[in-house]
Structure 1
Amino acid sequence: MSENLENINPKLYKKLDDREITVEEQDEDVADEFDAREIFDIIRNINDPEHPLTLEELNVVEQNLIEVDDKRNRVDVKFTPTIPHCSMATLIGLSIRVQLLRALPSRFKVSVEIAPGTHISEAAVNKQLADKERVAAALENSMLLGVINQCLAPKD
C-alpha cells in the first residue's frame, strides 16, 4: 500500500480544542451568524483520501483560511495540499464542497480553492472546483461519490 502513496510520511499538526459553546449560542431565540470557526468545525474532521488522518491533522484546512460573509451568504475556504504535486487535491476540494453543501443552508454560495502558491496545478484545480456543471457531473459519478462519502464518514 505505501508504495502507492504520494506523501508517505506527512507532517502531523496539533488539533484545535473543541469550541466552547456559549449560553447565547444555545439560546434558540437568538440568531447567531456563521463564523470561520463554525465552518472549520464542519470540515475539520474530513478524512484524507490517502491516510487515516483528518484534514485538520494534516493542516490541509485551517481556520485562518476560511472567510465567512453571513450578510452576503458567502463562505470561502482555501485549503493547502500536503505536497505541491498532490493528485488528490481535486478530490479533497470536492469533499470540502460536498460537506459544506450538505451542512449549510442553501442560501450560502460556497467557494473552495487551493491556497495560493501551494500546488503546481492550482489554477486548473481551482477552475474545476469553481465550475458548477463539472462539480455536478462529478457528483453523479457513483464511484467518485463513494470515495467522497468515505472521506466524509465519521471515524470509528
Structure 2
Amino acid sequence: MSEFINENPVVLDNNQLPSRKDGGSQEFLLGDVTDEESVQRKKLLFKLDHSAKSPALESVELLDRLLLLDAPPDLTSDEESEETEEDFHDASETEKADPIDAQEIYDLLAHITDPEHPISLGQLSVVNLEDIEVHDSGNKEEMAEVIVRITPTITHCSLATLIGLGIRVRLDRALNPRFRITILLKKGSHQSENQVNKQLNDKERVAAACENDQLLSVVSKMLSTCK
C-alpha cells in the first residue's frame, strides 16, 4: 500500500484551479474544505491495491521497456533537416507575434486526467502554476522553451513516467514546433527522479513509445478531458 507524502492531501475542485481571471494566484486553495465526507472519498482514490494490476500499471511496464531501449538512430538527412528549417522560417514570417505564458501552459495541462483516477492533474496538484517556466519572446523565428516540473503524489509513484508522457504529448500537439519542451520531476519528489527525467526528455525514445497502440490508448484517455 502506498503512503502519502502529505498525510492529509487536499484534492481541489475544478473551480479552485488558478485561472487568468484570478491572476493565477493559488493562495486561496489552501483554505479549509467543508465537505469532510467528500474529502475522505477522494483520499481513498489514492490508495492503490498493487495485488491486482490495473491497465495503467501494465502500460507503465510497457512504457519502461520502450524507454529503456537503445534510442533509434536519427534517420533525417542533413538535406531534409535544412529543408524543414527553411519551411519553418517561411511559415513563421506570416504568423503574428503572440508570446505564450505559464498560465496558458497550465490551462493546457490542468485538466489531463490521472491514469488511474477520475481526477485531473490540476486537482491533484501534480501540475502547479508556479512550477511552469516559459521563455518566449513572441518572435516566431526564435526558439522558445517550456519547462514543466511535476509533483507525483508519492515518492515512489509508479505512474510518474506515464503522467510525464501524457504531458509531453499534450504540449507537442498544442504548441508550435519552435517550442523546446522539458518535462522534469520536481526536485526531491521521487526516488527515481534522475532516471525518469532522462527517459521523458529523450525525444527518440518518447517517439517510439508513442507508436505503441496500448500506450497511445491510455494517453488518449488521459487527454480526452482537456479543454
Cα distance in 2 between the residues matched to 1:17 and 1:44: 9
Residue in 2 that maps onto 1:12: 11
Aligned-partner SS, 1:125 = helix
Residue in 1 that maps onto 2:152: 81
Residue in 2 that maps onto 1:34: 100
1:50-105 deviation per Cα after TM superposition (whole angstroms, max 9, x unaligned): 11100000000001000001134100000000010100000000000000000001
**What is the aligned-residue RMSD (CA, Å)?**
2.2
Structure with bigger RCO (C-alpha 8 Å, 6+ apart):
2
Residue in 2 that maps onto 1:26: none
Aligned-partner SS, 1:138 = helix
Cα distance in 2 between the residues matched to 1:135 and 1:83: 23
Say yes or no: does 1:55 pair with 2:55. Answer: no
Cα distance in 2 between the residues matched to 1:83 and 1:11: 14
Aligned-partner SS, 1:40 = helix
Alignment check: 8 A CA contact 2:17 2:123 kept: no
Larger radius of gyration: 2
TM-score (norm 2): 0.58
Alignment check: 8 A CA contact 2:133 2:147 kept: yes
Cα distance in 2 between the residues matched to 1:37 and 1:17: 8
Structure having the larger proportion of residues in helix = 2
Correspondences of 1:3-152 after superposition (within 5 Å): 6=2, 11-14=10-13, 15-20=16-21, 31-71=97-137, 72-152=143-223
- 1:10 Cα offset (Å): 5.8
Alignment check: 8 A CA contact 1:95 1:151 kept: yes
Change (3 A) 1:61 1:17: closer
- 1:106 Cα offset (Å): 1.0
Aligned-partner SS, 1:50 = coil
**Unmatched segments (≥5 aa) in structure 2:** 22-94, 138-142
* Amino acid in the other structure paired with 2:178: R
Alignment check: 8 A CA contact 2:112 2:223 kept: yes
- 1:30 Cα offset (Å): 7.0
